[in-house]
C-alpha cells in the first residue's frame, strides 16, 4: 500500500473512533505514523464487586496487541491523577499478569515533542521543550471559532484582516471553517523604539477599503496588546460597520494595554511559544503544533548574534 493510501486509511480509521480527549487522538496518530497497531478502549476490567454486581471498573485507553500492552494516558487535570493511580493499583492487584503502562502528562508531552513533528518526524528540532497545544487541539478549537463566527455573522460578509506573518496558519485554517462569503486582506506591523518607549507602525497596509464593512482582525497572539491597540485605533478611523478581534492565543499575564478580544482560541501562560505560524527568529513556523522552547537553548541563542533575515 502506498504511503498516501496508508495515511488516508489511518485518517478514516481515526475519524471513526469516539476519542474522549484530543490528546488520545494525537497519541493514536503517532502510533499510526510508526505503524504500531492499537485499539481504543477495547475492554473494561471489573475492579470491585458487591453482591455479585460490578460496582467499579477500569477501561484503559489503549491496547497495543503486538506488545500485549495496555496504555492509560493521564494528561487530564492533576486532581484526577490521584484517582487514576488508585484505580491502577487495584487493577494491578487483580490482574498481575496484564501489562499496563501509565503515561503521565510530562511523558506524553515529551513524546509529542520527539515524535509528533509531522514534517520533521525524522529530524530532531533543537530548542523545542514541550508541546503546549497539539495539532488536533488546534484543529478542534479553530473549527469551533469558525463555527461561532459563522453563527455571529450570519447574513453578513466579513472581511478578515490578518496580521503578518505569524497568522498565516491560523488564518488559512480559520477561513475554511467559516461557512459564509468572506474576503481576506493582510497587514504587516513593525515595532521600533519610539520617543515614549516601544511603538508600532504599519509597514504593509491593507488593499481593501474598510468603510461600512464588518472587519475581524485575526491575530496569532496578543501579548502586551500594543500591536492590537495601534491597529484598532488606526482601523477605527476608516469607519468600518463593525470591528472585532479574533486571536488564536492570549498571553493575558503580560497585557499592558487592556482591550476586549471577541474570540480567543486559547489563553496561555507567560512563555515564549513557537509553531503553527509563530516564530523565534524566523524558525519553527512550520511546526504543526504550538510549543515552548527550552530555557537553556534560548539563553544560548541570546548570546549568539541574531542572524540577518
What residues line the site for ligand IMP (CB under 6 A)?
A: 163, 166, 219-228, 272-274, 278
Q: Which is nearer to ligand IMP, 60 or 225 (CB)?
A: 225
> Following CA atoms 203, 173, 27, 105 in sequence, which dihedral angle do they give, to the nearest 10 degrees?
50
Cell numbers at 110, concatenated: 515529551
Given 223, 250, 258, 262, the catalytic residue: 223
Helix, strand, or coil here: 38? coil
> Least separation, in Å, of the C-beta of 252 and ligand IMP?
11
> Least separation, in Å, of the C-beta of 158 and ligand IMP?
20
> Least separation, in Å, of the C-beta of 254 and ligand IMP?
7
Cross-strand partners of 247: 219, 264
Indicate if 223 belongs to the active site: yes
The pairing of strands 214-222 and 159-164 is: parallel
Which residue pairs, CB below 8 angstroms and at least 24 apart, start in 110-115?
111/27, 111/30, 112/26, 112/30, 112/289, 113/291, 115/30, 115/33, 115/34
Q: Which is nearer to ligand IMP, 10 or 224 (CB)?
A: 224
Q: Which is nearer to ligand IMP, 60 or 288 (CB)?
A: 288
Q: Which is nearer to ligand IMP, 47 or 221 (CB)?
A: 221
- Cβ-count burial 267-291 (b if 16+ within 10 Å, e if not): ebeeeebbbbbbebeeebbebbbbb
> Least separation, in Å, of the C-beta of 255 and ligand IMP?
8
Residue 265 CA to residue 260 CA, distance in Å, equals 14
The residues that are catalytic are: 223
Amino acid at each position: 500500500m502506498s504511503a498516501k493510501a496508508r495515511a488516508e486509511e489511518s485518517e478514516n480509521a481515526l475519524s471513526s473512533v469516539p476519542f474522549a480527549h484530543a490528546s488520545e487522538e494525537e497519541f493514536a496518530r503517532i502510533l499510526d505514523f510508526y505503524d504500531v497497531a492499537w485499539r481504543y478502549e477495547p475492554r473494561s476490567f471489573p475492579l470491585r464487586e458487591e453482591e455479585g454486581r460490578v460496582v467499579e471498573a477500569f477501561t484503559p485507553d489503549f491496547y497495543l496487541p503486538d506488545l500485549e500492552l495496555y496504555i492509560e494516558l493521564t494528561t487530564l487535570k492533576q486532581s484526577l491523577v490521584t484517582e487514576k493511580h488508585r484505580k491502577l493499583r487495584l487493577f494491578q492487584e487483580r490482574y498481575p499478569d496484564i501489562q499496563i503502562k501509565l503515561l503521565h502528562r510530562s511523558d506524553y508531552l515529551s513524546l509529542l515533542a520527539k515524535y509528533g513533528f509531522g514534517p520533521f518526524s525524522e529530524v530532531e528540532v533543537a530548542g523545542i521543550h514541550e508541546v503546549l497545544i497539539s495539532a488536533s487541539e488546534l484543529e478542534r478549537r479553530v473549527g469551533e471559532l469558525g463555527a461561532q463566527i459563522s453563527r455571529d455573522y450570519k447574513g453578513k460578509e466579513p472581511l478578515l484582516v490578518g496580521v503578518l506573518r505569524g497568522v498565516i496558519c491560523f488564518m488559512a485554517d480559520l477561513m475554511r471553517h467559516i461557512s459564509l462569503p468572506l474576503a481576506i486582506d493582510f497587514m504587516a506591523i513593525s515595532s521600533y523604539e519610539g520617543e515614549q518607549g516601544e511603538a508600532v507602525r504599519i509597514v504593509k497596509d491593507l488593499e481593501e477599503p474598510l468603510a461600512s464593512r464588518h472587519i475581524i482582525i485575526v491575530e496569532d497572539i496578543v501579548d502586551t496588546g500594543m500591536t492590537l491597540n495601534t491597529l484598532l485605533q488606526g482601523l477605527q478611523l476608516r469607519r468600518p460597520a463593525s470591528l472585532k478581534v479574533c486571536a488564536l492565543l492570549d498571553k493575558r499575564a503580560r497585557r499592558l494595554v487592556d482591550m476586549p478580544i471577541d474570540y480567543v482560541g486559547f489563553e496561555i501562560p507567560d512563555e515564549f511559544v513557537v509553531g503553527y505560524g509563530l516564530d523565534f527568529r524566523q524558525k519553527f513556523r512550520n511546526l504543526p503544533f504550538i510549543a515552548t522552547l527550552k530555557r537553556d537553548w534560548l539563553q544560548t541563542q541570546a548570546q549568539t548574534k541574531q542572524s540577518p533575515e
